[in-house]
Each structure stands twice: as structure tokens, then as C-alpha cells.
Amino acid sequence: MDEPSTTGTRAAGIFRRLAALLYDALVIVAILFVATLPWLVLTGGEAITPQASGFSGYLYRAWLAVVAFAYFGLSWTRGGQTLGMRAWRIRLERAAGGAPGWLDAVVRFTLGATLALLAGFGLWFLRAPGWSLTDAGAILLLSPPLANLLWVLHDRDGRSLQDLASETRVVRR
């Protein structure tokens, strides 16, 4: 699954990308738990939802997005690797070479978060037994994240749609 690219570096395959993503998901959940602590102090330990907390519930969600972006953005712009990427010996770099910039990180994170939300909603709707029209909608929601991954097999340089949009590439190190 790891193919040599036209630039001489080896593109990271789907397995390595997914393994690093799973690793980073565990890391980001831990970071978001810690980021939630100050909010819990403010709410007296109550659930932080827009229904219960009003506008501060929306601020809390924005805070979590900023914290998640900070983890990925700092990791990508300072060395091109998150902890998961280090563990699986892959790194992110600009398509032309060198470390990604902040604009690259914003594009990559925004698209990645959107794809993750689509996949999450799709899986949520598929959880019910039986087949319904909702399942067809769920499959439509899962299509863009799957296309992003499968594009790695199609692209001769092993890039995903996310790589193309952010003008970056994930390579083995």
C-alpha cells in the first residue's frame, strides 16, 4: 500500500494513515477531556450543552474545536508529525517539500473535521437495525470520507483529496 511517489519519497498507504488517525483520536480525546475541566468548574460539574448552558454551550464547542486545531496545527507546522504520525513513521509535508504552513493546516484540519463529522453522522444513522430511507442518507454521508481514503489508491502519488486540497502529502519517513 505504500507506493513510491514521483518525487522519490514513499507515500504513506491507507493502513498507516488510518492507524495514525486512530492513535491521534485517542490523544485528542485525552486533550479535550483536559480542556473541558475549566468549563466544568464554571458550570459546577453540570453537562455543557446549549440547552443547559445557553450561549456558553456554543462557546464550549468552539473552544474544543480551537484546542483540537491547536494540537494538529502545531504538530503539522512544527515538524509535520502528530504523535500518531510519529508512531507510524509518517509525516506531513508540503507538496513542493518542506513543512506545512498555517494556511495548509487550516485547510487540512477544516476538511478533515468536516469529513469526520460526515462519517460520524453516517455511522450514527446506520446504527438502527433494518433498512430504511435514513440508511440511504447515511450511506450518502459516508461517501465523501470513503472517497477521500480511496483516492489514495487512485492517485499515482498516493495523495488523498485532503492532501490535494491543502497542497500537502503524507509520506513515510
pLDDT digits (tens, 9 = 90+) for 88-100: 999 999 999 899 9
What is the Cα–Cα distance from 71 to 88, expressed in whole angstroms? 18
What is the Cα–Cα distance from 25 to 58, expressed in whole angstroms? 22
Tell me whether residue 34 is in a domain: yes
What is the Cα–Cα distance from 86 to 165, expressed in whole angstroms? 23
pTM for this prediction: 0.85
Percent of the chain with pLDDT over 70: 93
Tell me whether residue 44 is in a domain: yes
* Domain limits for position 35: 14-172
Q: What is the pLDDT of residue 1?
A: 47
Q: What is the pLDDT of residue 39?
A: 85
CB atoms within 10 A of CB 85: 25
What is the Cα–Cα distance from 26 to 85, expressed in whole angstroms? 13
Query: For the residues of the chain, what is the DSSP string, one character each?
Result: ---B-TTSSBBP-HHHHHHHHHHHHHHHHHHHHHHHHHHHHHHTT----HHHHTHHHHHHHHHHHHHHHHHHHHHHHTTS--HHHHHTTEEEEETTSS---HHHHHHHHHHHHHHHHHHHHHHHHHTSSS--HHHHHHHHHHHHHHHHHHHHHHSTT---HHHHHHTEEEEE-
What is the Cα–Cα distance from 16 to 170, expressed in whole angstroms? 10
Is the pLDDT assigned to residue 30 strictly greater than 50? yes
Tell me whether residue 79 is in a domain: yes
* 145 vs 134 pLDDT, higher one: 145
Tell me whether residue 148 is in a domain: yes
Own/partner contacts of 119-128, CB < 8 Å, gap of 24 or more, are: 119/145
Q: Which residues pair with 90 in a beta bridge?
A: 172
Q: What is the pLDDT of residue 8?
A: 52
Which has the minimum average pLDDT: 16-25, 47-56, 121-130? 47-56
Query: 132 near 118, Cβ under 8 Å?
Result: no
Tell me whether residue 133 is in a domain: yes
Tell me whether residue 131 is in a domain: yes
Tell me whether residue 7 is in a domain: no
Report the number of distinct structural domains present in the chain: 1
Tell me whether residue 6 is in a domain: no
Q: If pLDDT is split at 50, 70 and 90, which confidence band does 133 have?
A: confident
What is the Cα–Cα distance from 140 to 121, expressed in whole angstroms? 10
What is the Cα–Cα distance from 162 to 109, expressed in whole angstroms? 9
